[in-house]
């Protein structure tokens, strides 16, 4: 890598859902810049939409090549990243195992049940009376219920696996020892469910994966089965648990947008896309890609063997792609955001997350059009030490 000074990254601690102004400067003046994450070797950081898509989608950039390297990261120890650390064809082999469960058609079949769950949870929130915590009453239980039903995980165990799943998104919130303990707990728990399916077969996703493993061991090893199922359980709810209150927070702190959505509920699908674009869910960049040959990105030559990290949230504010990129347009007609990633590692659960967010907003618009913050905005508290941004609670009235 060149001798250019590497800037400490992230550039600043997360500040609610505000985006560091440095990204806009870099997109304009230096779209590929050298950065130093808290741990690991220096990396290039891509900030423009076109460059981010290229790095995520070009096979000359490899995730698997990070194995054996001191990869740029936010935690002291290098962690097993499972399918997120693979390239095709290994990645393709594992992704095919679960992809059918997350198709648009399959997700639409889950929508009526998700609506029922959302209605029941809002009933409970209204019965509790205002002020009520939207995080506890709705944002946390809904994604957990949905992923439990899909996988076949007992909802009664939610407190345990929700706690353990924090290890997946923790940077400094958990000590390395506690993070390892939580990951081991999650894997052990999932291994137990796998064994249950062998004695009592089921029609859920874990049951289907067990049948696939037992009928064709070449497609899926036992360790891969357990890690894949555990990863789906953790990732299948952890990000959405945080993103639901993030989206509601943006709407309630921009009351004209909430009023518009209530007046035009048909905008909910496009509103979800726009809010996914606008909200910088990630607190930092992760999962570096290594160039397998010399590649030019954003006018800069990335040498073979050099790592690149991408800023999804900077790409989603690229003025060359999005008109009035720093403004919210709930009816934005063209919205090629990369909030779910791009390329082979595009989020397999993107359709599920979209559906859940749509259902939540539709339910709140219908049931609580008078929704508002129950405390002054500066009194809200935010989670720290995680790869993602999120509120610890969201007190609301209606």
Check pLDDT > 90 for residue 212. Answer: no
101 belongs to a structural domain: yes
Alpha-carbon separation of residue 330 from 264, 270, 368 (angstroms): 10, 6, 19
- The predicted pLDDT at position 265 comes to 97
Check pLDDT > 60 for residue 3. Answer: no
269 belongs to a structural domain: yes
Cβ pair 84, 345 in contact under 8 A? yes
Q: What percent of the chain has pLDDT over 70?
A: 99
Render pLDDT for 304-337 as a digit per residue (tens, 0 to 9): 999 999 999 999 999 999 999 999 999 999 999 9
Instruction: Look at the chain and report how many structural domains it folds into.
Output: 1
113 belongs to a structural domain: yes
Please give the average per-residue pLDDT across 364-382, as a whole number.
97
Torsion angle, alpha carbons of 340, 364, 111, 331, to 10: -50
pLDDT range class, residue 243, cuts 50, 70, 90: very high
CA angle at 345 for the pair 244 and 141, rounded to the nearest 5°: 25
1 belongs to a structural domain: no
CA atoms within 13 A on the CB side of 188: 8
- The predicted pLDDT at position 219 comes to 80
Task: Write out the residue range of the structural domain in which residue 262 sits.
Answer: 7-397
Please give the average per-residue pLDDT across 198-218, as a whole number.
89
- The predicted pLDDT at position 127 comes to 97
- The rounded mean pLDDT for the chain is 94
Core vs surface per residue 255-277: b (16+ CB within 10 A) or e:
eebbebbbeeeebbebbbbbbbb
- The predicted pLDDT at position 245 comes to 98
The least confident of 20-29, 39-48, 93-102 is 93-102
Cβ pair 282, 388 in contact under 8 A? yes
Could you give the 3-state DSSP secondary structure of residue 217?
A: coil
pLDDT range class, residue 216, cuts 50, 70, 90: confident
161 belongs to a structural domain: yes
Please give the average per-residue pLDDT across 156-179, as a whole number.
89
CA distance 162 to 326: 33
Alpha-carbon separation of residue 343 from 58, 100, 175, 249, 340 (angstroms): 8, 18, 32, 30, 10
What is the separation of C-alpha 260 from the centre of its chain, rounded to a whole number of angstroms? 27
- The predicted pLDDT at position 77 comes to 86
Which CATH number characterizes residue 259's domain?
1.10.630.10
- The predicted pLDDT at position 259 comes to 98
230 belongs to a structural domain: yes
Render pLDDT for 32-49 as a digit per residue (tens, 0 to 9): 999 999 999 999 999 999
Q: Which residue has the higher pLDDT, 169 or 139?
A: 139
2 belongs to a structural domain: no
Check pLDDT > 60 for residue 2. Answer: no
CA distance 281 to 270: 18
Check pLDDT > 60 for residue 394. Answer: yes
pLDDT range class, residue 236, cuts 50, 70, 90: confident
Q: Which residue has the higher pLDDT, 111 or 219?
A: 111
- The predicted pLDDT at position 217 comes to 72
Render pLDDT for 106-163 as a digit per residue (tens, 0 to 9): 899 999 999 999 999 999 999 999 999 999 999 999 999 999 999 999 999 988 998 9
């Amino acid at each position: 890598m060149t001798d250019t000074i590497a800037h400490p990254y992230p550039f600043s601690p997360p500040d609610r859902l505000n985006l560091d102004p440095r990204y806009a400067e870099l997109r304009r003046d230096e779209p590929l810049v050298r950065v130093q994450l808290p741990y690991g070797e220096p990396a290039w950081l891509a900030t423009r939409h076109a460059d981010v898509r290229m790095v995520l989608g070009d096979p000359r950039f490899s995730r698997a090549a990070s194995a054996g390297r001191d990869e740029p990261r936010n935690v002291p120890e290098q962690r097993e990243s499972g399918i997120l650390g693979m390239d095709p064809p290994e990645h393709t082999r594992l992704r095919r195992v679960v992809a059918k469960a997350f198709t648009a058609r399959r997700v639409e079949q889950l929508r009526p049940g998700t609506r029922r769950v959302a209605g029941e949870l809002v009933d409970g929130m209204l019965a509790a009376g205002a002020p009520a915590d939207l995080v506890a009453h709705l944002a946390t239980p809904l994604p957990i219920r949905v992923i439990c039903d899909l996988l076949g995980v007992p909802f009664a165990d939610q407190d345990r696996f929700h706690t353990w799943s924090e290890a997946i998104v923790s940077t400094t919130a958990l000590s390395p020892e506690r993070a390892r303990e939580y990951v081991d707990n999650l894997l052990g728990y999932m291994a137990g469910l796998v064994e249950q399916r062998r004695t009592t077969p089921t029609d859920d996703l874990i049951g289907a994966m067990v049948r696939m493993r037992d009928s064709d061991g070449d497609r899926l090893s036992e360790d891969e089965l357990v890690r894949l199922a555990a990863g789906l359980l953790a990732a299948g709810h952890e990000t959405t648990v945080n993103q639901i209150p993030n989206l509601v927070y943006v709407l309630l702190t921009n009351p004209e947008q909430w009023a518009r959505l209530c007046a035009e509920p048909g905008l909910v699908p496009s509103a979800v896309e726009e809010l996914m674009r606008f909200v910088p869910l990630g607190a930092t960049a992760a999962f570096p890609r290594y160039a397998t040959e010399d590649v030019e990105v954003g006018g800069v030559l990335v040498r073979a063997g050099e790592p690149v990290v991408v800023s999804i949230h900077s790409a989603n504010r690229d003025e060359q792609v999005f008109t009035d990129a720093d403004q919210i347009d709930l009816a934005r007609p063209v919205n090629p955001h990369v909030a779910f990633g791009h390329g082979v590692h595009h989020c397999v659960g993107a359709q599920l997350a979209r559906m859940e967010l749509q259902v939540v907003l539709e339910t709140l618009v219908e049931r609580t059009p008078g929704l508002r913050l129950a405390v002054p905005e500066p009194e809200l508290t935010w989670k720290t030490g995680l790869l993602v941004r999120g509120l610890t609670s969201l007190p609301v009235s209606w």
